Amino acid sequence: VLLPQFDPGNTGYISTGKFRNLLESHSSKLDPHKREVLLALADSHADGQICYQDFVNLVSALGPSPLGGTCLGKALLEEKGLNLSQRLIRHVAYETLPREIDRKWYYDSYTCCPPPWFMITVTLLEARTRVAFFLYNGVSLGQFVLQVTHPRYLKNSLVYHPQLRAQAWRYLTYIFMHAGIEHLGLNVVLQLLVGVPLEMVHGATRIGLVYVAGVVAGSLAVSVADMTAPVVGSSGGVYAVVSAHLANIVMNWSGMKCQFKLLRMAVALICMSMEFGRAVWLRFHPSAYPPCPHPSFVAHLGGVAVGITLGVVVLRNYEQRLQDQSLWWIFVAMYTVFVLFAVFWNIFAYTLLDLKLPPPP
């Protein structure tokens, strides 16, 4: 029993000094990043004391205790009598995290403050903007399907168009326009079902980084590989987040304890394949308003590339500082090189290749 050893007076508290000495004496047996988390707990108590129950919760999450004695905890999945919100948090932990120590730490520390605002806000903005334009264009054009090829549809300040590639904001804002309600629907479903739980675990900063990096990589990839096509839809960001999650599951297959993980992966891959297949078909389908081409599908591939590089590192290192990860810096350097290459490509290649671009909207 640990209590007599660290709290001989039975006060319910442990001094931060004893706690720090304990961690330093067993530093070689602890994950260095988890040690930093524990030290941060000690430093956060200005009164010089740590609640014993907090200490027990943290030590029990370590499994067979590196601090000596018997493991105090049990698997999170075995805990009974949880209310609905606690079961939801436990479910999210098992869906996204491969190690029991991370699941326990997340479950004990998650407060839903802040909530997963990034993915929800982006989804609402995309849905609202797309539906508004869909209804407006449907009434004004007398056409409620496949509006994306109509010159007037492209004539707005959001869509990426090769003739307007100098307007840098279009490399981001194209996510608010979609090729149809079904296109929007698949993206929204994937963002909410995959993106929101991931943001609950990893936070808005990390998930937002992966999402925005996928969005930018998607439009830049189109400007390099499919130079005459416009781009609409949030698939670059969606595919970055989802592919990072799927790759993380595959890499940590034995540690992922979520139920039906194979079925969940299959459903996600089927949805992504359907959406990607539709985008490929649409790109090569004859346009109803030539020479205006259909949107490119290459943005999907740019998102996947970001997901299996930057995204995997971000999702793998739960509660660990990315700045300390050498692989993180390698992928950041690769992404930066690609962005710089694409920028120079957009400045010089279009003129040198003398491409015949579609007329400006």
Cα–Cα distances (Å) from 333 to 273, 337, 338, in that order, read 29, 6, 9
Closest CA to 145 of 185, 186, 177, 179: 179
The residue written with tokens 């969005």 in the block is: 215
Q: Span 73-90, mean pLDDT?
A: 78
Ramachandran region, residue 148 (left: φ > 0; alpha: ψ -120 to 50; beta: rest): alpha
Domain boundaries, the chain: 2-109, 117-353
Tokens in use for 155?
């004539």
Closest CA to 217 of 313, 341, 361: 341
The helix/strand/coil state of 81 is: coil
Specify whether the CB–CB gap between 42 and 20 falls below 8 A.
yes
Specify whether the CB–CB gap between 143 and 288 falls below 8 A.
no
- pLDDT-derived band at 124, boundaries 50, 70, 90: very high
Catalytic annotation, residues: 235, 300
Q: Say whether pLDDT at 161 is over 70.
A: yes
pLDDT at 356: 85
Specify whether the CB–CB gap between 155 and 361 falls below 8 A.
yes
- What architecture is the 2-109 domain classified under in CATH? Orthogonal Bundle (1.10)
pLDDT at 73: 43
Higher pLDDT, 76 or 170: 170
Peptide bond into 116 cis (omega under 30): no
What dihedral do alpha carbons 301, 302, 306, 309 form, nearest 10°?
60
Q: What topology does CATH give the domain 117-353?
A: Rhomboid-like fold (1.20.1540)
pLDDT tens per residue, range 57-68: 555 544 443 443
- pLDDT-derived band at 273, boundaries 50, 70, 90: very high
d(CA 155, CA 137): 11
pLDDT tens per residue, range 314-332: 887 776 677 767 888 999 9
